[in-house]
Structure 1
Amino acid sequence: MLIVMGGLPATGKTTLARLLARRTGGVHLRIDTIEQAIVRSGLARPPLGPVGYFVGYALAEEHLGQGLTVIAESVNPLPATRDAWRDVGVAAGVPVAEVEVVCSDHAEHRDRVTSRSVDISDLRLPEWQEVVEREYEPWHRKRIVIDTAGCTPEESLAALVHRIAQALA
Structure 2
Amino acid sequence: MRQPAPPRSRPALVVIGGLPATGKSTVGRAVAHRLGASYLRIDTIEQSLFVFSAYGADTDALRHAVTHGLGYDVAYALAEDLLTQGLHVFAECVNPLKVTRDAWAAVARRTAAQFHEVELICSDPAEHAHRATTRTVDIPGLPLPTWQDITERDYAPWDRPHLTLDTAGKPPDHTITELSNALALTP
Do the structures match in fold with TM over 0.5? yes
Match of 2:41 in 1: 30
1:163 maps to amino acid: A
| SS of corresponding position for 1:41 | helix
- Cα distance in structure 1, aligned partners of 2:156 and 2:15: 16
Counterpart selection for 1:92 from 111, 118, 121? 111
- Rg bigger for which structure? 2
Percent identity between matched residues is 49
- Cα distance in structure 2, aligned partners of 1:52 and 1:69: 20
Counterpart selection for 1:45 from 63, 72, 75? 63
Which runs of 5 or more structure 2 residues have no equivalent in the other structure?
1-11, 54-58
- Cα distance in structure 1, aligned partners of 2:130 and 2:94: 18
Equivalences, count: 166
1:164 to partner: Cα distance: 1.8
Are 1:120 and 2:139 an aligned pair? Answer: yes
- Cα distance in structure 2, aligned partners of 1:33 and 1:135: 21
Are 1:16 and 2:27 an aligned pair? Answer: yes
8 Å Cα contact 1:16-1:156 kept in structure 2: yes
What TM-score, normalized to structure 2? 0.86
- Cα distance in structure 2, aligned partners of 1:160 and 1:118: 24
8 Å Cα contact 1:102-1:147 kept in structure 2: yes
| SS of corresponding position for 2:28 | helix
8 Å Cα contact 1:15-1:153 kept in structure 2: yes
What TM-score, normalized to structure 1? 0.95
Provide the alpha-carbon RMSD of the alignment: 1.2
| SS of corresponding position for 2:184 | helix
| Runs of 4+ residues deviating >4 angstroms | none
Match of 1:55 in 2: 74
2:63 maps to amino acid: R
CA deviation vs aligned residue, 1:26-51 (integer Å, no higher than 9, x gap)? 01100000000000001433662110
Match of 2:98 in 1: 79
The residue correspondences of 1:112-151 to structure 2 (distance < 5 A) are 112-151=131-170
- Cα distance in structure 2, aligned partners of 1:67 and 1:152: 32
- Cα distance in structure 2, aligned partners of 1:104 and 1:48: 28
8 Å Cα contact 1:7-1:75 kept in structure 2: yes
